[in-house]
Structure 1
Amino acid sequence: MAELEPRNFLQPCLLLLLREQPDHGYELAARLRPMHDGDGDAGGVYRALRSLERHGLVRSEWQTSDVGPARRTYYVTPDGVNSLDSLADSLGQTHEALHIFLDRYARVVAAAKRGCPEGSRIDHRADRYGRTNGVHAARGADRPAGH
């Protein structure tokens, strides 16, 4: 279940940001905040960028400036784009699993608040993929008695 851990979300976020546009580390850290619930640790961003670079998913180059020190600019590589595509597919599957989980959780909590016994009915409605969720639904909540 490691793929659901937030710490594993940093690298796909960085790849996406770099696919949007090349950038410097501190700017990436600032752009990352709305997407990633990190603590704003620029050091963590740089460690992740170095790891992505070691794996050939990003590249960097030094750029000089007339008004300050040279800064390293990061770019996503073609392998990084392929990796991002794969990670996005995996995150899509996680997204679906989370929605099923949260829907089931909401139903169980709602049934408990209504005082319905947990095992009174099983809801076998299928999602868009034909999967049933096996959630226990209260009699009369969404289905008539006898079904």
Structure 2
Amino acid sequence: MCIDPHIHPKHPHGCEHRLPHPHHPPIHLGPIRGLLHIAILKLVKEKSMHGSEIHSLLKEKYNLDVPKPLVYGLLRKLEAHGLLHSRWETDDGGPAKRIYTITDEGIEYLEHMLKKIEKVKTIIDRLIG
């Protein structure tokens, strides 16, 4: 899965540009950026949860301080690809929250990707060892 930079057609200060830009600091996730969707799937496999909780756990469990819009965009992409399913839930009269659950296809994809990551990890361990 690839995360493409997006274009702001009409920015508040009137310019049109691609991110990053001096008005928008770049997101420095490096190679981790390509693994972010795997981390999200792994979290949701452990427990169904809403986007804000996923965002918090990315930081807590993996030390990934990722912008919320990036997390929510990935959640929508993962759902569009059939790897996640969501439903709306309300509790105690508060605002409705979209709860994400991993699908069977999502579990298969996650397991496949974790095996690939394990192979890459072996190579990295040899390179730095």
Aligned to 2:73: 47
Q: Quick one: which of 87, 91, 107 aligns to 2:117? A: 91
Q: Which has the higher contact order (CA 8 A, sep 6+)?
A: 2
Partner of 1:69 in structure 2?
95
CA contact (8 A) 2:58 2:65 kept: no
RMSD: 1.8
What is the alpha-carbon distance in structure 1 between the residues aligned to residue 33 and residue 48 of structure 2? 22
Provide Cα deviations, 1:71-129, integer angstroms capped at 9, x if missing partner.
100000000000000010011011101101101xxxxxxxxxxxxxxxxxxxxxxxxxx
Structure 1 gaps of 5+ residues are: 104-147
Q: Which amino acid aligns with 1:48?
A: L
Q: 5 Å matches for 1:133-144? A: none
**2:22 corresponds to which residue?**
none
TM-score (norm 2): 0.73
Among 18, 24, 27, the alignment partner of 2:50 is: 24
Deviation at 1:67, TM superposition (A): 3.7
**Following the alignment from structure 1 to structure 2, what is the Cα–Cα distance between the partners of residues 34 and 87?**
22
Q: CA deviation at 1:35?
A: 4.6
Separation in structure 2 between the aligned mates of residue 62 and residue 48 of structure 1, nearest angstrom: 18
Residue deviations 1:51-81, cap 9 Å, x none? 0000000010101122411110000000000
Computing the radius of gyration from Cα coordinates, the structure with the larger value is 1
CA contact (8 A) 1:24 1:73 kept: yes
Rounded Cα–Cα distance in structure 2 between residues aligned with 1:33 and 1:97: 26
Give the direction of change, closer, same or farther, for the CA distance of 1:82–1:32 in structure 2 (3 Å limit). Answer: same
Measured after TM superposition, the shift of residue 36 of structure 1 is: 4.2
Deviation for aligned residue 1:40 = 3.1
Q: Which amino acid aligns with 1:8?
A: G
Q: Matches of 1:82 and 1:97 in 2, distance apart?
A: 23
User: How far apart, in 2, do the equivalents of 1:59 and 1:91 lie?
Assistant: 24
Number of equivalences:
101
TM-score with structure 1 setting the length: 0.64
